[in-house]
Structure 1
Amino acid sequence: MRLLVILFLSGSCLASEYAVLASGARLLVDRHETAGNKVRLYNTEGYIEMDTRQVRTFEPDDHIAPVPAPPPATLEPVVVVEPLVLSPLDLADAAADRYALPRWLVREVMHVESGFQPQVVSPKGAIGLMQLMPGTAQLLGADPMDPAQNADAGARYLRELLDKYDGRLWHALAAYNAGPAAVEKYKGIPPYRETIDYITRIDRERKKNEQ
């Protein structure tokens, strides 16, 4: 009996391993001990004993170590980039280029309408650089209090009016100032002093640019 114990201990393996059985099954065991034609397979619950012919081989348990936690992230300094603020003339030129309008035209409409003041509101409720009425701004999908959106929408509206009146500038300007309904009503330039003065001022600028 003492010899048997010694043999079991001398044939032991203490590393976690797989016992590959003759049937092809694989058993994960803590260790095994071999004595003669017998082998004991140990786990946390005890052991089982079987004929050595029932065990084909033993394979190491390929334990994969856990991935080490990454080091704490280093906080990069936050760089605050201030938004680029364009001047009224820059806004006018950008909008003119976007809608294939002469730069002088959008600049002069902006000058006459608002004096290049982004937040000015007229007694009639027109807002901002090119004096959009709230309803018109809504139809154009623009926030009239945002200078860039206001200038863009104003130039787009002017482009639409020029297309509507086959490029006739006076008709487009009259519609921008008094509304398309007034132009339709009078079948041309409405006889409003404000509208006539408006067209005259802008047409004067046109003549300067054509010289």
Structure 2
Amino acid sequence: MKVPALVLFSILASTAYDARADIYQVVSANGTITLTNIHRTDRKQVRVAREKPKLAKAPSRAAPSRKRPLKAPRYALIVAQAAFDYDLPTELLHAVIQTESNYDPSALSPKGAAGLMQLMPDTAKDLGVHDVFDPTANVRGGARYLKRMMTLFDNDLSLALAAYNAGPGAVFAYNRAIPPYPETQRYVPSVLGHYQRLQADAKRPR
């Protein structure tokens, strides 16, 4: 039997309107075909489409809400106190520590830099740090040295970080520019990247 075009359009539209509902076909006395999602026992209906079963939602893998308090780093209090005492941003010290040692207080580089902020032996001696593997002494010494570099290079953070990594003499040798050493060229953007991320995290509502 041919279904009139207008009726066919109604059928398709009805089906598209609620694809998830069971669809029933009803044939009237004059041969008109009607589709409906309402099941009635007083009419002869034939189910022509079944509602798809709803699948259980997979556990969400989304990041935890920013409103929840984030777990503070292990050395948060030490860093916060050093930042306050030497007038440096807390996030900056964390960025340096993350880049230098990734929070490993026993880190030791092939060149002899040691501890959380990777102090060189001569630098540690000059700063009065007797035990470079003591987290408090190391962080305070590193913060003091970084503040010294900030003052020396007029608060130019990129140059201060370059001097922290390669020594102030290297920055002066290249006309107050970041030395073209591969390590230093990687180091400065790495610290700045961590610093910017930590600043953004600190500004997000908890």
Same fold (TM over 0.5): yes
The 1:155/1:112 distance shift into structure 2, 3 A limit, reads same
How much does 1:115 deviate? 0.9
TM-score for both structures, normalised by structure 2: 0.58
* Structure (1/2) with the larger strand percentage: 1
Q: How many residues in Structure 1 have an aligned counterpart in Structure 2?
A: 126
State percent identity of aligned pairs. Answer: 44
Name 2:128's counterpart in structure 1: 141
Name 2:76's counterpart in structure 1: 89
How much does 1:94 deviate? 1.6
Q: Which runs of 5+ in 1 are unaligned?
A: 1-85
Secondary structure of 1:97 counterpart: helix
Equivalent residue for 2:110, pick from 123, 126, 151: 123
For 1:118-140, what per-residue CA distance to the aligned partner results, in whole angstroms no more than 9, with x for missing partners? Answer: 11111110010000011100000
Name 2:187's counterpart in structure 1: 198
Q: What letter is aligned with 1:135? A: D
1:3-82 residue pairs with structure 2 within 5 A? none
Counterpart contact for 2:95–2:192, Cα < 8 Å = no
Q: Which has the higher contact order (CA 8 A, sep 6+)?
A: 2
Asked if 1:171 corresponds to 2:130, the answer is no
Name 2:149's counterpart in structure 1: 161
**Pairwise CA RMSD:** 1.6
How much does 1:87 deviate? 3.2
How much does 1:192 deviate? 1.1
Distance, in Å, in 2 between the alignment partners of 1:126 and 1:118 is 11
How much does 1:161 deviate? 0.4
Asked if 1:180 corresponds to 2:168, the answer is yes
Distance, in Å, in 1 between the alignment partners of 2:77 and 2:102 is 14
Name 1:207's counterpart in structure 2: 196
How much does 1:89 deviate? 2.6
How much does 1:109 deviate? 0.2
Secondary structure of 1:128 counterpart: coil
Distance, in Å, in 1 between the alignment partners of 2:140 and 2:104 is 15
Q: Say which one has the larger Rg.
A: 1
For 1:23-64, what per-residue CA distance to the aligned partner results, in whole angstroms no more than 9, with x for missing partners? Answer: xxxxxxxxxxxxxxxxxxxxxxxxxxxxxxxxxxxxxxxxxx
Tell me which stretches of 4 or more aligned residues in structure 1 moved more than 2 Å.
86-90, 205-208
Asked if 1:113 corresponds to 2:91, the answer is no
TM-score for both structures, normalised by structure 1: 0.57
Counterpart contact for 1:127–1:133, Cα < 8 Å = yes
How much does 1:179 deviate? 0.7
Q: What letter is aligned with 1:160? A: R
